Chain A
Amino acid sequence: MRGFKELNPAVIMLYYLCVIGIAMFCTDPVITGFSLAGAVTMFLTIDRKRKIGIHVSFFLLFAVLALINPVFYHNGVTVLFVVNDNPITLEATLYGITASAMMISVLYRFRTFTMIMTADKLMYVFGKLSPKISLILSMALRYIPLMRSQTSKVRNTQKALGIYREDNIADTIKGEARIFSIMTTWSLENGIITADSMEARGYGLHKRTNFSVFRFTLPDRIMLLVFLALAGITAWAVASGEAGFTFYPALSGVTLTPLSITGYTAYGILSFLPPIIELKEAVRWKYLISRI
């Protein structure tokens, strides 16, 4: 068994599609609660920098989003108080909190998604869809840093030659325009070399295969099935109408039937599965070290 991060990128991608998709389509306090808690736990598990700033900014965003709904939307039967002839209702307030919690949970998920799915993993997933897109992405990822470093080299050289002064805006603009123009030439020039090199290595002669360093192993299959099953159960519970929540005109309350409980539990497990797998790996590793 490997950690969540080491799973096949396609499986990771599918997990995120399921967990984010369900969270976005069901505005249900239980599902949103699981989603947010799971997303934050996941973030805390894999974040190595431990900077507090991101949490503060997400909390501020949450507060603003949660306030906007009751201030501008006055539907609902339970009036809490009235401001400037505008009723602030319990239903609108709760809806605001649920909806913003959902957004924040999705933002946390995207954070972890970008940390886990590095460029090569994304390319692998896209490569499965189209080998050409994958090659173009790979070439772009190679080319952009190269061009950026060359531009800064040109700029430094010109500065040390003192040809374009910095204290004069017109000269600076003129200098930048020249640098842009020569970088275009440079790109075309080097494009030719790259094209030569591709042709010399037989590009375009046969139908290309798409090699990748990622394998699709048994744990990947198992986890894929587990993710699909959990997402399927949740979707079934939600679609049957037993797991669901309406805010307007009055709060419906959470209905507890065997199916809805199963659905909620399934989503809870789905949401917390990655941090659990990561934690399990960490514990197992500690144990293995203690035996050495």
Chain B
Amino acid sequence: MEILDIKDLSFTYPLAAAPTLDSISFSVNEGELVALCGATGSGKSTLLRLIKKELAPLGEKSGTVKFRGKSTEDCIPSDIGFVMQDPDHQIVTDKVWHELAFGLENMGLPQSSIARRTAEMSSYFGIEDKFDRNISELSGGQKQLINLAAVMVTEPGLLILDEPTAQLDPITASDFINTVKKLNRDLSLTVIIAEHRLEEIIPLCDKLLVIENGRVLAFGKPHDVAVQLYSHKDIMCGMPAAARISAALGAARPALSVIEGRELVRTYGNEVQPERNVNDTGNKDTALEFHEVYFRYERELPDVLKGLSFSVNKGEIYCILGGNGSGKTTALGCASGIIKPYSGTIRIFGKKLKEYKNQTLYKECLALMPQDIKTVFLRNTVREELEDAGTDISSLPFDLTPHLDKHPYDLSGGEMQLCAFAKVLALKPKILLLDEPTKGLDAASKIKIIALLKQLTANGMTIVTVTHDVEFAAECADRCALFFRGEIVSAAPPDEFFSENSFYTTAASRITRGHFRNAVTAGKAAELCLLNGRKAEKI
């Protein structure tokens, strides 16, 4: 049964030259899970917001949006649920129970039915133990789950999620997506979800909707849509590794999941194996060295860093991977001198951190880019921001000129990251510490950042980055290290690191396991397949 029907929807923002959405038509049946994808600025958010009339932007609109046969203008708020990107700011109240009750209070329900519905919802989501807690004590993933639960208590017929996992780490994001899938399956709830991280959602969705420049590029079953996308590089780069391999090989039926990917790769021979990269890292100068560093936040709390020792060579990209709360960010805080370990030594270019007096550490030596990139900006325009930092705009390795007069907060995730880089690079750091540089970025921006990091290290900069993003680490790192319980348990070049790990590894590595050695990126896997050729052709 058709639940949502959009016909010839066009939308133009006030003062905008071109329409943001241009005659979009599609319809969604009840119980379908629709994934919406498209590059940043393609109009995804605008489309989703136009379906929910309370959030619809102002502007010139034409066409119809019908929910259950009636115009969405006549819908009540509880018909359509909407979850936004930022877990923090869509939360209204201070307690978990109050947040869950908020929508029901607005509907004017009596105490007894609010009590029943919140109780029901919190046991469905498994958040009973958090019912009385303050929301500020919860992690980002838990907050986003509360947001979802708070929308679900009003029993919407259609659930819209606008990049709900952009601010979450991959493991939490995957849990969140699975919860959404569970809702979809258990309640036959119709879901439209816009995502950057398609690796998780595409194997689960019923339909895939791709928009480009405000037009529907493709809409249909994910396998059918994926074939049509082979030639669209900017969208393809965000697709699952299996799909990227299929695109590179031109497979007739694209593989989307790891299982399908394995089947596809196995139709190719494996006589030619890659050489192990023997890059000689011995006898290089050390840029940053941790020796037996211990740190805890408060006297009564346990150690966060427990005898952390590692060293980073000059001119390499060192990626630190690890779970939530393992102390990765704390280690960067120690390296940048913001927090002080109670024991152990940290050396930067052979000199102890403590001996860098009066900000000399930050003068052409070391800089830290934080996880929350918004905290880098203090001024009202990008231009003022860069003048403040003393950046020479013409010397930047990327182009910021179209954004100079915008407020930094108005930039997209990727643009904001580049702008922050511009500000940091003006300090001419020799060591750059990055905390989750790919958080909230779409695939195209990620590729830009990887290229930028490689260029910077080629010019002699040393980069230490903390990340959850294994695909990113596999693409750009010279060495990867696994952080666990306050120390580094293993460090190796990415080929070796990811091919030895079986869970904490890239999708490409899982696809090629047992077939190719050391193929940890989709590009490499496809290249090897092409080198070997199809088995059938050989026989």
Please give the residue numbers on chain A whose beta carbons come within 8 Å of chain B beta carbons, in ascending order. Answer: 119-120, 131, 135, 138-139, 141-142, 145-146, 149-150, 153-154, 156-163, 165-167, 178-179, 181-182, 185-186, 189-190, 193-194, 196-213
Number of interface residues of B (CB under 8 A): 68
Residues of B within 8 A of A190 (CB): 86, 88-89
Q: Identify which of residues 338-382 in chain B touch chain A, using a CB-to-CB cut-off of 8 Å.
A: 338, 358-359, 361-363, 367-368, 370, 372, 374-380
Q: Do B103 and A119 have beta carbons less than 8 Å apart?
A: no
Q: Do B54 and A153 have beta carbons less than 8 Å apart?
A: no
Q: Identify which of residues 226-278 in chain B touch chain A, using a CB-to-CB cut-off of 8 Å.
A: none
- Give Cα distance in the complex from A141 to B99, angstroms: 13
Q: Do A202 and B338 have beta carbons less than 8 Å apart?
A: no
Q: Do A139 and B338 have beta carbons less than 8 Å apart?
A: no
Residues of B within 8 A of A159 (CB): 338
Q: Do A201 and B150 have beta carbons less than 8 Å apart?
A: yes
Are A196 and B84 CB-contacts (below 8 A) given A163-B388, A209-B114? Answer: yes
Are A153 and B370 CB-contacts (below 8 A) given A200-B52, A201-B106? Answer: yes
**Of B91, B336, B407, which contacts A160 at CB under 8 A?**
B336
Nearest opposing residue in chain A for B357, CB measure: A167
- Give Cα distance in the complex from A203 to B132, angstroms: 23
Residues of B within 8 A of A203 (CB): 102, 106
Interface digits, B427-451 against A, CB 8 Å rule (1 contact, 0 not)? 1000001000000000000000000
Q: Do A211 and B378 have beta carbons less than 8 Å apart?
A: no
Q: Do A199 and B55 have beta carbons less than 8 Å apart?
A: yes
| Number of A-B contacts defined by CB within 8 Å | 169
Shortest CB distance A180–B (Å): 10
Q: Do A160 and B108 have beta carbons less than 8 Å apart?
A: no
B530 at interface (Cβ–Cβ under 8 A)?
no
Residues of A within 8 A of B380 (CB): 185
Q: Identify which of residues 130-149 in chain B touch chain A, using a CB-to-CB cut-off of 8 Å.
A: 131-132, 135-136
B93 at interface (Cβ–Cβ under 8 A)?
yes
B330 at interface (Cβ–Cβ under 8 A)?
no
Residues of B within 8 A of A181 (CB): 378
- Give Cα distance in the complex from A185 to B82, angstroms: 25
B97 at interface (Cβ–Cβ under 8 A)?
yes
Q: Do B370 and A165 have beta carbons less than 8 Å apart?
A: no
Residues of A within 8 A of B433 (CB): 160
- Give Cα distance in the complex from A160 to B154, angstroms: 45
**Of B82, B98, B363, B374, which contacts A162 at CB under 8 A?**
B363
Instruction: List 24 A-B pairs, Cβ < 8 Å.
Output: A119-B94, A120-B98, A142-B92, A150-B372, A154-B378, A162-B362, A162-B367, A185-B409, A186-B409, A189-B409, A196-B55, A198-B92, A200-B77, A201-B154, A202-B76, A203-B102, A208-B105, A209-B108, A209-B110, A209-B114, A210-B105, A212-B111, A213-B97, A213-B132
- Give Cα distance in the complex from A193 to B162, angstroms: 13
**Of A131, A142, A178, A186, which contacts B93 at CB under 8 A?**
A142
